[in-house]
Structure 1
Amino acid sequence: MIFSKRINKFRIKTKVISIGILYFLFSTVFISCSDGHIKLTTNGTTAYEIVYIGKTSESAYQSAAILKKYIDKIAGTDIGLVGEGSQSTKGNKVYVGAINELTLAPHEVNIQLKDKNIFISGGSDNALQNAVYIFIEDYLGVKWFSPTVEKIPSQNSILIPNTLSFNYKPEITTRTVHSRLFYENDEFADKLKVTTEAFPTYVSDARVHTFHKFIPEEKFFKEHAEYFALRENKRLPTQLCLTNSDVYNIVKDSVASLFQKNPLAKVISVSQDDNTQYCQCENCSKIDEEEGSPAGSLILFVNKIAENFPDKQISTLAYQHTRKPCKTKPRENVLITLCSIECDRSAPITEKCNDFTEDLIGWSKLTDNIRIWDYTTQFTNFLAPFPNMNTLQPNVQLFRDNNAKWVFEQHSNNPSELFELRSYITAKLLWNPDLDIDSLITEFTDGYYEEAGVYVKNYVDLIHAELKKHPDFFLFLYGDPSQAFDSYLNPELLEIYKEYFDAAEKAVATKSEVLKRVKEARLSTDYAILEAAKQNLNSQLSLVFQENPSSANVFIKEKLEDFYKTCKAADINLMNEMGFTVEEYYNSYKKTIEVAIKPNIAKGKKVTLLTKPKKYANENPQVLTDGALGGNNFYANWLGFEGNHLEAVIDLDSIQTISSISTAFLQVTNHVVFYPLNVSYYYSNDNKIFEKLGVLVNDEPLSKTSKINDIKYFEFTFPKVAARYIKIKAENMNTAPYWHHAAGLPSWVFADEIMVE
């Protein structure tokens, strides 16, 4: 009997029921067991066979084979797998494939039970696979927590409710979680229904921030400065001049060439570079003023490019200066990628980022082609505690409710705080934004950490509750743990978090694999403890023993070693997006301990600034001699000078014999923080006449290949002199070089502890 005759025996009636999301249920007459279930397997045997059907039989077969694998694993069966039209050996069937009588949208899934037969279908090959995984997870009880951790129940009898009737069409149709768990494990990505790459269907060489790729500064700027942005009457290669006809022709030809080289690609990015230094020439400015946003000149330019490629999609950014919508509608083949980088992550976007919400609503009125680029981790400190999990669901719901069919959640890609948990719940919410987030977190912590799960959940709950007690705290993507040492990371709470993870380790002490997961989960707490110790918050959170400052704190040294070993065992190699490695952090921290135990006659001494700092460390000059040492982020105990030099005098209280001076400086090149050009040291006994001790020229001058994130000690030794006053001068570059994305803007110098011996 062919499938179409079989399915015609049943009459399908459709009605809509709202349970948070839209489900379509089909009412039918069922033949069922008296207990309200049918038995898919009984005592390790089965009266069923799996039949793959439909025109795309290869895809249906693959999905059916997945189903067979899990049924056999659960029940110990060897359920049959046959194609449609094969001679039947069983009376009951599980049909996997396209049901002709059901018209499903491309992303729609449908699961039905009729007369003890189960029908699993989808509107496309991918949707069919999703439907199979839904059946395995929701009706067979399988859970996938990571590429290597899945929970498969073992039971001789599999019961399926005789009321089974499920239909779902996800409103977010392209779902991406920027996590290597998915990019490196296609099968795991399929199970959680997210993409296996960050930019599916894009031209690989042109995915984002492409202006400099189409018209590189190295090739064009010298002879054609007019192609680039005009800023304060000066051309800079920061962005393109979008009203220059030659720029249009070059970009158009470049796009055509890339599509020709990548014929299977459907999308290319024509988008601004990663800075706000857009063109302010007369023509560009006139358009932007008329359009009410710098997005105006961009959309007009991109629309013009898109006209040439009607069968392709041109992606562009609504990001920073172009985030506010303009008046001109994007063409139908233009994809607007709207970015939420500025938002406070301590609460939902609708509560603390009203401007973004308004911009999203504005773009949704102009176009149905919106791709959200959202952010879910702290990029300056991947492994730092970042209590934003309670914002994930309302943010995804906001995107869904405003026409976003494509959502890219930029996680760290590389491991970060509670990496597996974050990857899991984000993927789940993209599929169904109305899931209960607390139940979702509990499901994961209980499944992944087993007996330790309750303690990990306690940590998650407490740190989020503590953040909520500080409604004015700005949880920033580029922040630092040091900002929270008086709130959700204060010493008392760090001790409680530590105790939770100590208990978690004890609970699974005999389970080596689970214990390894717990050790990875506690990395964020341990990292916060290590960073807190640099600030000398109390006797335990200190780099040295307070009663013996020349000895390193054994607790912190052991914590550093445990942190390093856990990272290495887990193949965790990066501390932040700037490429600062765990190895570098480990070695840098050991150097910090060495500095901390050195004698320093300048410690606690009065500092007088002769130039003015800005914003950071409360602009307090005593930061330079307070004994607390800065980390690899400018929020952590660094005194900053923007566009001006550092000049400071330290009063040693009395004349003392000295022979060495050292000052630490920070470099974060993507945030316009550079080492000083040189550092000069002077001494005096009357604070009026200063003798020059010497000058240290930076032996690592800034270049395009400079290390993005690092700390450098400008240490100078000299023959002993008697001195009371020490002067330090650090020469700022003043402005970023012309080739830097912040060209023309003031550059920063950040200094920390001044050491005098």
Structure 2
Amino acid sequence: DTRTPPVGIVPEDNVIVELCSIECCFSHPLETCLAERSTTVMKFSTAIKEWAKICKNLYVGDYTTDFSNYLAPFPNFNVIRQNARFFAENNVKGLFEQGTYDTLSGEFAELRSYLLSKLLWDPYMTEEDYNTYMCKFLQAYYGAGWRNILSYINLMIKTTEDSHIFIYDNVLKIYPCEDVRYDRNNKPQIPDEAYADVENHDWLQYSKKLRHFENSFIEAAEIYWQAAFELCDSDEAKAHLEKLSIQLLACKSAFLGFVKDQGLPWTELQFFIKDKRLEIIDETKKQLDAVIYENNKKLYDLLIKYNITKICEWTALPSNPNLYNEVTAWNQ
């Protein structure tokens, strides 16, 4: 255990002590959330406070992405400001924010890098200033439909606010599917049109009412993305939105792979493929494979187009992927 400060020893002034937050939850502030993957060492926030009492050069290695899936959205935008302030208030002199360090990102790397750079300059910024920086970036980067992307980010946060999220979590642990028990006669209907603003739809309550394998997070996210794209006012912003769609395709890839593993009937997938129905239920797997391949081919082509060479920390983008598997299993 090197996290717990020693008793009776004080580091010299030329000694740097670095702690890392690798075991921590990243959907809640580090200072107040005690959920960690390890239970054998002093809690990270406690260790920071204790080391700050005896060390003049305290550094932190912090983490800002899901290392098991670089492509999927990581819902930490509500905590990085609070974490930066916590570090500054506890004598942290050096802060290394590690994201997708070995490839370009398919996720919100541009936005997150911008916000983190602002926080490194001013870790005491107010929530209002932080939100202003976020909105200005979204408007400049994604164009006229940027408010829909902000709503999508808020959806990410709302969906995961009651869950502890770690940096090696499967995407379906972060954005879980609903289960298979449901009443077909009382199934809520999803609007086909893309709304410019769907805040009035309680998607979380909707997902609780569903009792079959669907993923209301993906559905709502796609509506936001489509609305943003339809309002797009420049080719540059369209390219940025196209790249952003990688994270939705990656989530859908994980979901479809899960559905395939569960052997669910085709009718449970109708929201992904409007106006297509099976005439013969025995063809379910064949049809499902076609949907999986179509989604994954689109995802793979975008990864190549935007020069994204890693799927996760330990898996490079294969040159000949198995597009019938979910994205993190393309090399199998």
User: TM-score over 0.5 for the alignment?
Assistant: yes
Instruction: Give 2:185's aligned residue.
Output: none
Query: Quick one: distance in 2 between partners of 1:393 and 1:492?
Result: 28
Partner of 2:217: 493
Instruction: Please state how far the C-alpha of 1:452 moved relative to its aligned partner.
Output: 2.5
Give 1:419's match in structure 2, choosing from 82, 96, 109.
Answer: 109
Counterpart of 1:552 in structure 2 is 287
- Give the partner amino acid of 2:166: F
Unaligned 5+ runs, structure 1: 1-320, 593-629, 634-708, 712-757
Q: Which residue of 2 aligns with 1:384?
A: 72
Aligned-partner residue type, residue 357 of structure 1: S
Matched, 1:447 2:140: yes
Contact kept? 1:378, 1:384, Cα under 8 Å:
yes
Residue 337 (structure 1) aligns with = 18
What one-letter code is carried by the residue in structure 2 that aligns with 1:346? Answer: S
2:317 aligned residue: 582
The whole-number CA distance in structure 2 between the counterparts of 1:323 and 1:502 is 46
**Residue of structure 1 equivalent to 2:130:** 437
Question: Which letter maps to 1:335?
Answer: I
SS at structure 1 position matched to 2:98: strand
Measure, in 2, the Cα distance between the counterparts of 1:519 and 1:552: 26
* Partner secondary structure for residue 589 of structure 1: coil
CA distance in 2, matches of 1:443, 1:373: 28
Cα deviation for residue 460 of structure 1 reads 0.4
Three-state SS of the structure 1 residue aligned to 2:59 is strand
Partner amino acid, structure 2, of 1:499: I
Contact 1:541 1:556 in 2 (8 A): no
Change (3 A) 1:323 1:381: same
Q: 2:234 aligns with which of 508, 511, 517?
A: 511
1:564 to 292, 300, 312: 300
Question: 1:540 and 1:587, CA in 2 relative to 1: closer, same or farther beyond 3 A?
Answer: farther
SS state of the match for residue 177, structure 2? coil
The equivalent of 1:474 in structure 2 is: 164
The aligned amino acid for 1:348 is P
Distance in 2 separating the partners of 1:465 and 1:474: 13
- Measured after TM superposition, the shift of residue 710 of structure 1 is 5.4
Deviation, structure 1 residue 552? 3.2
Please tell me the root mean square deviation across aligned C-alpha atoms, in Å.
Answer: 2.6
* Residue identity matched to 1:464: I
Deviation at 1:541, TM superposition (A): 7.5
1:486 CA drift (Å): 3.4
> Secondary structure, in 3 states, of the residue corresponding to 1:420?
helix
Alignment-mate amino acid for residue 352 of structure 1: C
Q: State the Cα distance separating 1:631 from its structure 2 match.
A: 6.5
Contact 1:532 1:541 in 2 (8 A): no
1:310-347: CA deviation from partner (whole Å, max 9, x where unpaired)? xxxxxxxxxxx311111211222110011111101110
Q: CA deviation at 1:416?
A: 4.0
Q: Is 1:324 paired with 2:1? A: no
C-alpha contact 1:523 1:563 (8 A) present in aligned 2: yes
Q: TM-score, normalised by structure 2?
A: 0.75
Kept in 2, the 8 Å contact 1:349–1:395? The answer is yes
* 1:552–1:587 Cα change, 3 Å: farther
How far did 1:550 drift? 4.4
Distance across 2 between alignment mates of 1:573 and 1:351: 36
Quick one: which of 254, 258, 264 aligns to 1:535? 258
Q: Conserved in 2, the CA contact under 8 Å of 1:531 and 1:631?
A: yes
CA distance in 1, matches of 2:271, 2:16: 50
Q: Say which structure, 1 or 2, has more relative contact order (CA 8 Å, 6+ apart).
A: 2
The reply on whether 1:352 has 2:33 as its aligned counterpart is yes
Q: How far apart in 1 are the matches of 2:271 and 2:53? A: 52
Q: 1:562 to 1:505 in 2, by over 3 A?
A: farther
Looking at secondary structure, tell me which structure has more strand per residue.
Answer: 1
Aligned to 1:158: none
Structure 2: runs of 5+ lacking an equivalent: 36-42, 179-203, 208-213
Quick one: distance in 1 between partners of 2:303 and 2:236?
15
Q: Which amino acid aligns with 1:457?
A: L
Question: What code does the residue aligned with 1:403 have?
Answer: N
Using the TM superposition, give the Cα deviation of residue 555 of structure 1 relative to its aligned residue in structure 2, in angstroms.
Answer: 4.2
Letter in structure 2 aligned against 1:581: A
Q: Distance in 1 between matches of 2:63 and 2:277?
A: 40
Q: Name whichever structure is richer in helix by fraction.
A: 2
Secondary structure of the equivalent of 1:442?
Answer: helix
Distance in 2 (alpha carbons) for counterparts of 1:335 and 1:541: 54
- For these two proteins, the number of residue pairs brought into alignment is 272
Q: Is the 8 A contact 2:65 2:100 kept in 1?
A: yes
CA offsets, 1:181-205, max 9 Å, x none?
xxxxxxxxxxxxxxxxxxxxxxxxx
Q: Secondary structure at the match of 1:322?
A: coil
* Aligned residue number for residue 369 of structure 1: 57
Asked whether the equivalents of residues 293 and 323 of structure 2 are also in contact (C-alpha less than 8 Å), the reply is no
Deviations 1:636-691 (A, max 9, x none): xxxxxxxxxxxxxxxxxxxxxxxxxxxxxxxxxxxxxxxxxxxxxxxxxxxxxxxx
Distance 1:550 1:335 in 2: 57
- Mapped to 2, the partners of 1:393 and 1:521 lie a distance apart of 23
